[in-house]
């Protein structure tokens, strides 16, 4: 048995015993479960498998440390009320906020962070990584790292714009449908059902094939596809509010529909709508990346993560993970946003940690 394997198991057993002695039951169960899993994996995969587990645990520990530090940073720069809420945020939500913050910085300051232009050819096709190109070159000799940074601005920015438009359209229609009711509510509801009955990817491909693939068309088509989702949620939430006594009192005072929406309904529907905004962003983001992968999204030479996966896909045959990097960037942002949305839904539901 090698020195690494002996030290690995010694550290795990010592840590589990210490956690049990201090009465940290959840920590003990986690560490001892890892010990048992490592024992089985070690028998099958040997020392190499244990080294892989060590690396993964180290990455998780690093992510947990960064999440904790970023949460404390947000607590210290926030006001008293927000700081109190942030202290109760789980590390997963803090990690999600850190990833979102990192992507935002990369997108806003892409011109300063990226060492080369997004369409600048600086090397030969599929050149390996070196000091000048951290992730190597793509099929045209452009720096993959620079295009990845610019992709944060283009892909995420376009998805955010389409989400905002979809949210404005769907939320306003849902709020007005709840207030007005009658024929307006019925027409908007049936229209939303018709749009939602068509698969989103097929509908987007059809519309973009007919109308073209410029950015304005992409934003409008994607917004039309996902606004019915927002409409249905907003209509359901607002429908529970319009039957309240204070709404009836406002109507008796002679208040108009826009006053009811702006001053009475919207403030009481903010929490679930913010959470819905995060979920809609994930759907829109994945759809735009998928369209770009199929060649009908953001067009070259503009950097986009979906098209980067398609352009460098041939490298997979040679064991190169470069095409997986933009795919991992898409997955990481989606997971991060869902972490934050889960926390916000937990808070808005009124549940409390025990």
Q: Which domains does the chain have, with CATH numbers?
A: 3-75 (no CATH), 106-348 (1.10.3720.10)
Residue 296 near residue 281, CB atoms below 8 Å: no
Residue 285 near residue 334, CB atoms below 8 Å: yes
Give dist(CA 24, CA 104) in Å, integer: 37
Give dist(CA 324, CA 45) in Å, integer: 25
Cβ atoms < 10 Å from Cβ of 5 = 15
Give dist(CA 57, CA 244) in Å, integer: 51
Q: How much is the pLDDT for 349?
A: 63
pLDDT digits (tens, 9 = 90+) for 312-322: 887 777 777 78
Cβ atoms < 10 Å from Cβ of 354 = 3
The DSSP code for 303 is: -
Preceding peptide of 298 cis, ω within 30°: no
Q: Burial, 289: exposed, middle or buried (Cβ in 10 Å; 0-12, 13-18, 19+)?
A: buried
Phi, psi of 142, deg, nearest 5: -90, 150
Q: Mean pLDDT of all residues in the chain?
A: 84
Q: How much is the pLDDT for 70?
A: 92
Beta-bridged to residue 137, according to DSSP, are 143
Q: How much is the pLDDT for 1?
A: 53
The DSSP code for 198 is: S
Report, as an integer, the average pLDDT of 242-248. 74
Q: How much is the pLDDT for 350?
A: 52
Among 51-65, 79-93, 213-227, 339-353, whose mean pLDDT is lowest? 339-353
For 174, what's the count of Cα atoms within 13 Å in the CB-facing half-sphere?
26
Residue 304 near residue 297, CB atoms below 8 Å: yes
Q: Which of 45-49, 141-145, 257-261, 266-270 has the highest mean pLDDT?
A: 141-145
Q: How far is CA 227 from the centre of its chain?
A: 18
pLDDT digits (tens, 9 = 90+) for 47-64: 778 788 888 888 888 998
pLDDT digits (tens, 9 = 90+) for 135-177: 888 888 888 889 999 988 888 989 999 999 999 999 888 888 8
Write 238-245 long-range contacts (CB < 8 A, 24+).
238/174, 238/175, 238/177, 238/178, 238/179, 238/265, 238/269, 239/178, 241/178, 241/265, 241/268, 241/269, 242/178, 242/179
pLDDT digits (tens, 9 = 90+) for 89-141: 898 999 999 999 999 999 889 889 988 888 888 888 888 888 888 888 888 88
pLDDT score of 309 more than 70? yes
pLDDT score of 351 more than 60? no
Report, as an integer, the average pLDDT of 22-48. 82
pLDDT score of 256 more than 50? yes
Q: How far is CA 45 from the centre of its chain?
A: 34
Give dist(CA 61, CA 183) in Å, integer: 56
DSSP alpha helix (H) spans, the chain: 3-21, 25-77, 80-87, 91-108, 110-113, 144-151, 157-180, 182-197, 200-211, 215-241, 245-252, 257-259, 270-293, 305-311, 324-348
Per-residue pLDDT band at 67 (split at 50, 70, 90):
very high
Report, as an integer, the average pLDDT of 296-317. 83
Handedness of CA 231, 232, 236, 242 (dihedral sign): positive
Percent of the chain with pLDDT strictly greater than 70? 97
């Amino acid at each position: 048995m090698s020195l690494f394997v002996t030290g690995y198991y010694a550290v795990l057993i010592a840590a589990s015993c210490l956690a049990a002695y201090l009465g940290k039951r959840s920590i003990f169960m986690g560490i001892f479960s890892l010990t048992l899993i490592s024992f089985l994996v070690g028998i099958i995969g040997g020392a190499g498998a244990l080294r892989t587990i060590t690396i993964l645990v180290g990455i998780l520990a690093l992510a947990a440390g960064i999440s904790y530090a970023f949460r404390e940073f947000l607590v210290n720069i926030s006001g008293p009320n927000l700081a109190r809420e942030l202290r109760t945020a789980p590390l997963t939500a803090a990690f999600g906020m850190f990833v979102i913050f990192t992507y935002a910085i990369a997108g806003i300051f892409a011109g300063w962070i990226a060492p080369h232009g997004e369409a600048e050819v600086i090397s030969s096709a599929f050149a390996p990584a070196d000091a000048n190109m951290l992730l190597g070159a793509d099929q045209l000799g452009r720096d993959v790292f620079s295009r990845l940074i610019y992709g944060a601005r283009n892909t995420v920015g376009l998805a955010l714009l389409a989400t905002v438009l979809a949210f404005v359209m769907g939320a306003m229609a849902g709020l007005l449908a709840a207030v007005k009711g009658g024929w307006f509510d019925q027409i908007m509801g049936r229209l939303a059902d018709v749009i939602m009955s068509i698969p989103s990817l097929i509908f987007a491909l059809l519309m973009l094939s007919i109308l073209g693939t410029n950015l304005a068309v992409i934003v409008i088509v994607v917004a039309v596809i996902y606004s019915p989702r927002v409409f249905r949620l907003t209509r359901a939430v607002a429908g529970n509010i319009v039957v309240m006594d204070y709404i009836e009192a406002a109507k008796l005072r002679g208040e108009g529909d826009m006053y009811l929406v702006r001053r009475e309904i919207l403030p009481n529907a903010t929490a679930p709508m913010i959470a819905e905004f995060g979920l809609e962003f994930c759907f829109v983001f994945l759809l735009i990346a998928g369209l770009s992968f199929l060649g009908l999204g953001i067009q070259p030479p503009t950097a986009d993560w979906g098209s980067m996966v398609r352009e460098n896909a041939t490298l997979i045959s040679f064991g190169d993970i470069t095409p997986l990097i933009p795919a991992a960037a898409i997955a990481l942002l989606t997971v991060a946003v869902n972490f934050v949305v889960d926390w916000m839904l937990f808070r808005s539901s009124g549940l409390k940690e025990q």
